[in-house]
C-alpha cells in the first residue's frame, strides 16, 4: 500500500513537516508513506491557467496522488483555520474540474496536525471537512491526531522524541492503513 503525505507548511523547521516525516518512519508493515511538498506551487490564478495550463509541479503532484492508494494531509492551523498556501495547493490540484474525480474522487484521506498551541489543529481539521466533501474524498474519521504544544515533542533535528506522541501516531496510522486496506479496490 502506497500513500502520499502532504505537509501544509512551507517553513523549513515546520512542526507539521516534522510530523509528516515521523509518520513516514512509523508506517505499519506493508504500507509506505511518500513525503511530498507543496513547494513550487504558484498562487492560483485563472489567467495563468488559461494562458499556460497546469504548472509542471502541480501536474506532477496530481499524478502521484492519483497513483497512490490514499492521501494523508498534515495541516497546520493558521488563524483558527486552513493555511492559505495549503488550500491554494489543493485548489490547483483540483484543476481542471474534469480531473477532480481521477485525483480525489473516493480517495481515502486522513487529517493530522501539530501546533504550538494548546488545542492542536482541531479547527483547521474541521475546516477541511467541506473541502474534502466537495472533492468527493473518503475521509477516515476513525481516529484523530492533533498534537498540541508540539514544539515539546520534537528534538532539534525534527525527530519525534515524545513516547506518548509516537504511540498516538502509530495507532493513528495503523487505523488509517486498516481503513484503506478494508476498502474494495
- For 72-126, the pLDDT digits (tens) are 999 999 999 999 999 999 999 999 999 999 999 999 999 999 999 988 999 999 9
Average pLDDT of the chain to the nearest whole number: 96
pLDDT reported for residue 85 = 97
pLDDT at 184: 80
CA–CA gap between residue 43 and residue 142 (Å, rounded): 33
For the chain, list the domains and their CATH numbers.
2-182 (3.40.50.360)
Other CB atoms closer than 10 Å to residue 161's CB: what's the count? 14
Q: What is the pLDDT of residue 158?
A: 85
What pLDDT sits at residue 80? 93
What is d(CA 106, CA 104) in angstroms, rounded to the nearest whole number? Answer: 6
| Mean pLDDT within 118-137 | 96
Residue 67 pLDDT class (50, 70, 90 cuts)? very high
> Taking 90 as the threshold, does the pLDDT of residue 8 lie above it?
yes
pLDDT band for 153, please (50, 70, 90 cuts).
very high
Mean pLDDT of 51-65: 97
Environment class of 64 (CB within 10 Å of its CB; exposed 0-12, middle 13-18, buried 19+): middle
pLDDT for 93 equals 98
Please report the pLDDT score of residue 91 as a whole number: 98
- Helix, strand or coil, per DSSP, at residue 71: strand
Which three-class secondary structure state does DSSP give residue 46?
A: helix
| Separation of CA 153 from chain center | 20
pLDDT at 119 (0 to 100): 87
Amino acid at each position: 500500500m502506497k500513500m502520499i503525505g502532504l505537509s501544509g507548511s512551507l517553513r523549513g523547521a515546520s512542526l507539521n513537516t516534522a510530523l509528516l516525516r515521523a509518520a513516514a518512519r512509523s508506517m505499519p508493515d506493508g504500507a509506505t508513506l511518500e513525503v511530498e511538498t507543496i513547494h513550487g506551487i504558484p498562487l492560483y490564478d485563472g489567467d495563468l491557467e488559461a494562458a499556460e495550463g497546469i504548472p509542471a509541479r502541480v501536474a506532477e503532484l496530481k499524478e502521484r496522488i492519483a497513483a497512490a492508494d490514499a492521501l494523508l494531509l498534515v495541516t497546520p492551523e493558521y488563524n483558527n483555520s486552513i493555511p492559505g498556501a495549503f488550500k491554494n495547493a489543493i485548489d490547483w490540484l483540483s484543476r481542471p474540474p474534469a480531473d477532480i474525480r481521477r485525483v480525489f474522487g473516493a480517495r481515502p484521506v486522513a487529517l493530522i496536525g501539530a501546533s504550538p498551541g494548546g488545542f492542536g489543529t482541531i479547527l483547521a481539521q474541521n475546516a477541511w471537512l467541506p473541502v474534502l466533501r466537495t472533492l468527493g474524498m473518503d475521509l477516515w474519521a476513525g481516529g484523530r491526531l492533533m498534537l498540541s504544544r508540539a514544539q515539546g515533542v520534537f528534538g532539534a533535528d525534527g525527530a519525534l522524541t515524545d513516547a506518548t506522541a509516537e504511540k498516538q501516531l502509530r495507532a493513528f496510522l495503523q487505523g488509517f492503513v486498516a481503513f484503506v486496506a478494508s476498502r474494495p479496490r
